Amino acid sequence: DILVASDAIGMGLNLHIRRIIFNSMYKSTGESSSVLLDHSSVKQIAGRAGRRNSPYPNGVVTCRDPRDMEYLRACMATEIQPLRRAGLLPTPDHIRQFSEALATYELSEDS
């Protein structure tokens, strides 16, 4: 079986995958340009190959274009530093929607 996927495969699909072959080390931005995949993204995508408790516990990762192998090797050798902390901030649109909900349900202090 063969699965053709975008970089979204790195988002946590738990499939029995033996081999990941990068068609390109670049990702489309959805417009007319593309950007180089960062080390973390490459490792996340490559990590789909070979999973504990799958028929393929040892995965294989390669590139279609041999010129990309040096970058792939560098990405795989890079130690990704864990986040010390993270936060989620509301966007201006979230704040607007929240304010509208307060007014709709008369939950603001002015009520």
pLDDT at 64: 94
Please check the confidence at residue 111 and state whether its pLDDT lies above 60: no
Please check the confidence at residue 106 and state whether its pLDDT lies above 80: no
Q: Which pTM value belongs to this model?
A: 0.68
**Separation of alpha carbons 97 and 74, rounded Å:** 44
Residues whose CB is less than 8 angstroms from the CB of residue 48 and which lie 6 or more positions away in sequence, other chains included: 9, 10, 13, 15, 17, 20, 59
- Read off the pLDDT of each residue in 5-13 and give the average, rounded to a whole number: 78
